Amino acid sequence: MNDDQLLRYSRHIMLEEIGIEGQERILAARVLVVGAGGLGSPAALFLASAGVGRITLVDDDVVDLTNLQRQIAHTTARVGQAKVDSCASAMLAINPGIEVVRVRERATRASLAPLVQAADVVLDCSDNYATRHAINAACVAARKPLVAGSAIRLDAQIAVYDLRHADAPCYACLFSPHAAFEEAACATLGVFAPMVGIIGSMQAAEALKLIANFGQTLSGRLLMLDGRSMRWTEMALAREPGCSVCAGR
């Protein structure tokens, strides 16, 4: 690290759990963030401020006025701009020393495969069931850790699927890709703005813990937050032997 980096990341370096060695791992890390909206905004901004060396953003959408209530990486002046460009601008304004790769396309399993393979950690900040399963399948195939979050109305959840470990469950062990699922959208049900901020920030924290290799991650645990009472519920996750995605890996 140079003098500017030592100063910029000094508050991380002071932490016994991170130190210079951990911060150097963060600087060398490659993180894939799928979704540059409500969850992706705080996640990407914190990853950028922490100094993650290369962050790849995947999103096919443009900034809309209705996004600004909760998608904090975007501004009124950038309405109509591609979300990956808008989010990248916010990230680089905070930390010009990082690299941001912008992929303006809808994530599919085929398009995700090389992106996941090139990443150290993957963050699922998407907003639909099909994309979540495509991300999970790509992470299972590449054996890359996945930090998955979601939020709707005043409810939210987060879990880590550390697919580097043979006994770890994947997202499909909990949510079957074959199940009939009625998609819940912010456009029809609404979402309490701070919920995506809470979960997106936690996704960044879990990713940084995985990168710097400290603490206990949410691997094998699902945290669910009720924003009405601000009460957390924790559920232990186990690998499903008959999982159609990860069985036999």
Output the CA torsion sign for 10, 11, 16, 22. negative
pLDDT at 41 > cutoff 70? yes
Q: What pLDDT is attached to residue 14?
A: 98
- The reported pTM is 0.96
Could you give the CA distance from residue 40 to residue 91 in angstroms, rounded to a whole number? 11
Share of the chain above pLDDT 90, in %: 92
Q: What is the mean pLDDT of residues 3-20?
A: 97
Provide the residue count of the chain. 249
pLDDT at 154 > cutoff 90? yes
Q: What pLDDT is attached to residue 180?
A: 61
Q: In what order do the strands lie in the sheet with 146-152?
A: 99-103, 54-58, 30-34, 121-124, 146-152, 155-161, 221-226, 231-236
Q: What pLDDT is attached to residue 179?
A: 73
Confidence band, pLDDT 50/70/90 cuts, at residue 248 = confident
pLDDT at 188 > cutoff 80? no
> Domain 3-236: what homologous superfamily?
NAD(P)-binding Rossmann-like Domain (3.40.50.720)
Q: Domains of the chain: which residue ranges? A: 3-236
The per-residue pLDDT for range 76-85, each reduced to its tens digit, is: 999 999 999 9
pLDDT at 182 > cutoff 90? no
How is the chain classified by DSSP, letter by letter? --HHHHHHTHHHHTSTTTHHHHHHHHHT-EEEEE--STTHHHHHHHHHHHT-SEEEEE---B--GGGGGT-TT--GGGTTSBHHHHHHHHHHHH-TTSEEEEE-S---HHHHHHHHHT-SEEEE--SSHHHHHHHHHHHHHHT--EEEEEEEBTEEEEEEE-TTSTT---HHHHS-TTS------HHHH-B-HHHHHHHHHHHHHHHHHHHHT-S---BTEEEEEETTTTEEEEEE----TT-TTTTT-
Share of the chain above pLDDT 70, in %: 96
Q: What is the mean pLDDT of residues 113-140?
A: 96
Lowest mean per-residue pLDDT among 105-114, 174-183, 220-229 = 174-183
Q: What pLDDT is attached to residue 24?
A: 98
CA-nearest of 122, 160, 125 to 144 is 122
Could you give the CA distance from residue 33 to residue 176 in angstroms, rounded to a whole number? 22
Q: What pLDDT is attached to residue 178?
A: 80
Q: What pLDDT is attached to residue 61?
A: 97
Q: What pLDDT is attached to residue 181?
A: 59
